[in-house]
Chain A
Amino acid sequence: MIKIKNLHANIDGKEILKGIDLEVKAGEVHAIMGPNGSGKSTLANVLAGNENFEVTEGEVIYEGKELLEMDPDVRAREGVFLAFQYPIEIPGITNATFLKTALNEIRKHKGEEEITAKGFLDLMKQKASILGMDPAMISRAVNVGFSGGEKKKNEIFQMLMLNPKLALLDETDSGLDIDALKVVSEGVNAFRNDKNAVLLVTHYQRLLNYIVPDYVHVLYKGRIIKSGGKDLALELEEKGYDWIKDEQLETESA
């Protein structure tokens, strides 16, 4: 689905991503872990098309197309979705207006008809119920006055509504209480199928008990320094990152 080759990216002239190689196939879940400031959000944002970051090298092939050539809205219409680490409040725009506009743009892009008012309402109710959300929140302004956890849930709600092919989840688990974590994980699992893929950034093994990854990668100082199966996350939980850093130093000096 997506193939990232030697991806380098800067912000304000400072190199953050220093050569990322990663391939995610349809049906897979990849977890990205790594210490604070290692570039996890940067990677997710570069893939989503955040123009604050400048890609200096490398390429990303998504569904056979050059992802980096596309504007962020085009990427979204092509099926890329980023659940933000810090979701944004948009006063004056209701969730309904926001999502219906987005959904219709995506449908238009695919050559489909606009969704009917009834169709939208039904879809909305169905997806809200997966997350145990009050359907009344659809008439509230996007994220305005939402608690930290509600904002994260709302990101997953948006994902379910827009049904992307590639979901990039940036620390969607942080700030969630145990029940919410379960519900959100169920939401992600309900979304998963063999035609889509999930790239999730997390600090905690806990989430990976619910959303079991096929691969776990450790991002450190802008590079993936270790990849493994789901057991790697357990090992990290137990031992922290230092042992990999040491390994990395050894290979570097070798």
Chain B
Amino acid sequence: MNNKTRPNEWYVSNFEKFESKLNGQSESFVHTIRKDAINRLNEMEFPTTRDEEWKYTNVAPLLKNDFLPTYSFENPKINSEDLRKYIFENFECDILVFVNGLFNDELSKVGKLPSGAVVDSLNNVIKNNPDLIKDKFNTLTKVQNAFNALNNAYGVDGAVIFIPDGIILERPIQLVYLGGNGTDKVLSLPRNLIIAGKNAQAKILANYAGYGDVPYFTNTVTEIFADESAIIDYYKTQHENTNSYHIDRTDINQKGKSVFSHTAFSFGGLLVRSDINSELEGEFMECNYYGLNLARENQHVDTHTFVDHAKPNCQSNELYKTILDDKARGVFSGKIMVRQDAQKTNAYQSNKAVLLSKTATIDSKPQLEIYADDVKCSHGATVGSLDEEAYMYIRSRGIPDDLAKSMLIRAFANDVVDNVKIEEVKEQLNHLIFEHLQRVEITDISKY
């Protein structure tokens, strides 16, 4: 333990200084939320492994660091050429770029949008049109732990996507979050809000990437509202530098007949924790969670999901796959709640892990809480090594050991990757899989 009494102290004591740098931003409605959050942060403790929800993930190493909040460090100068290293390319998209939680206007590029649609930074929206988001902002992510409070207190910017009723965004939106400045231990606290109206449709790719090798801490919060019959594909990729910390809290509220899919890829980070929570507040909707977590060396990657079925006739479907090498640790906890009203619920959850080394470990904890009687729920978890029969089959064609293993990794990851409906992103993700696991790459040559 360090000699400080509480890790909160650093953040609480620096708040005034931070506040003084906010200028005009302290006038907005968000500032009340901010002040409330710093008080909460003062009152509450960061989670420890004694908390059930954090049993397998020890954040003490993270909390030993005093991360510098926004406005107390220099952001790296990044030009559009540098940016190419971090983004998914070769497809048409609108891009918003945030560097350590601050919006970078020059690197962002948003084309003409359908009337009423907004793809902009939170600050710009607060300045220009606060009423657009006022009744939604911070209504899903009520401060549940000290990390959420930290984001609320110090977060200054993030992405806002507003899609009016009946509007379909043709181009995917890529949200790029760069963390780190290469010299200081910094905080990156994106705060995002996505509001999809009735029958609205969009594909959103949230791309978290790391700048430099110095540790930093990305602590991000995203709220997503999908109104009736909206169809939202949300992809999240995370390749922070492997010395860094990444904590993500995403809350989703779905209304009747909407379809929401969350597909996540975790590559980087020393300690990664993602909480994804859905409230299904309506009937006949579909909620899909897919995820691929990769970790090697001493990485730790933890996904916690919670799907709350409140109304009848909904379907939720979760598929999480984890590949661990070296001494990496994986954690998966998936909670499904089926409330008394939620008859005819179909809820599926599957969690599969492949351990590439004997020293890698995974803890998996499915939790079903069912209060309705006419439901179909299932969950399954498997842990193993790569498929031996397929391994023999591939090698029996003359393909050597390392390439055969790469093929099996790709085969294992496939049903998660396949949910990405942007072809170019799919291929780049396959590339990242091999790059991250340091395996020989299998490139697809079937496209003549």
Contacts and interface: CB of A to CB of B under 8 A. Distances in A.
Contact of A88 (B389, B401, B418): B389
B411 A92 contact: yes
A76 B401 CA distance: 13
Contact of B399 (A52, A105, A117): A105
Q: Is the interface of B mostly helix, strand, loop or mixed?
A: helix
B396 A72 contact: yes
A76 to B, nearest CB: 4
Contacts of A88: 389-390, 393
Nearest to B397: A102
A220 B388 CA distance: 28
A93 B407 CA distance: 7
Contact of A106 (B393, B398, B443): B398
B446 interface: yes
A76 B397 contact: yes
Contacts of B411: 90-93
A73 B390 contact: no
B410 A92 contact: yes
B400 A105 contact: yes
B398 A105 contact: yes
A176 B318 CA distance: 37
A132 interface: no
Interface in A46-103: 48-52, 71-73, 75-77, 81-82, 84, 87-102
A73 B414 contact: no
Interface residues of A, number: 40
Contacts of A84: 393, 396
A129 interface: no
B110 interface: no
B398 A162 contact: yes
B1 interface: no
Contact of A76 (B395, B413, B442, B447): B395
Contacts of B399: 73, 76, 98, 101-102, 105
Interface string B369-403: 00000000000000000001110111111111101
A158 B446 contact: no
Contacts of B393: 84, 87-88, 90
Nearest to A161: B397
Nearest to A77: B398
Nearest to A168: B396
Given A76-B395, A98-B407, A139 B401 contact: no
Contacts of B415: 91
A22 B326 CA distance: 45
B398 A117 contact: no
A45 B446 CA distance: 30
A90 B396 CA distance: 14
B102 interface: no
Given A93-B407, A94-B446, A102-B399, A51 B413 contact: no
A117 to B, nearest CB: 7
A87 B397 CA distance: 12
A5 to B, nearest CB: 23
Contacts of B446: 94-97, 138-139
A178 interface: no
Contacts of B392: 48-52, 72
B395 A73 contact: yes
Contacts of A82: 396
B106 interface: no
A55 to B, nearest CB: 15
B404 interface: yes
Nearest to A75: B396
A109 interface: yes
A139 B445 CA distance: 8
A26 B392 CA distance: 26
Nearest to B389: A88
Contacts of B445: 94, 96-97, 100, 117
Contacts of B410: 92-93
A121 interface: yes
A132 B159 CA distance: 54
A100 B404 CA distance: 13
B131 interface: no
Nearest to B403: A101
Contact of A48 (B389, B396, B407): B396
A98 B406 CA distance: 12
Contacts of A75: 396
Nearest to A84: B393
B447 A73 contact: no
B444 interface: yes
A100 to B, nearest CB: 6
**A84, A95, A101, A121 — most chain B CB neighbours (10 Å):** A101
B398 A90 contact: no
B87 interface: no
B398 A109 contact: yes
A139 B407 CA distance: 15
A81 to B, nearest CB: 8
Contacts of A76: 395-399
Which of A90, A109, A117 gathers most chain B CB within 10 Å?
A90
Nearest to A105: B398
A135 to B, nearest CB: 10
B193 interface: no
Nearest to A72: B395
A160 B366 CA distance: 47
A109 B447 CA distance: 26
Interface string A170-210: 00000000000000000000000000000000000000000
Contacts of A50: 392, 396
Given A48-B392, A92-B413, 4 more contacts: A73-B397, A76-B397, A90-B390, A93-B411
8 contacts: A48-B392, A71-B401, A76-B395, A88-B389, A90-B394, A90-B408, A96-B444, A96-B446
A-B interface, 3 closest residue pairs, ranked by CB to CB distance from nearest: A92-B414, A76-B398, A139-B446
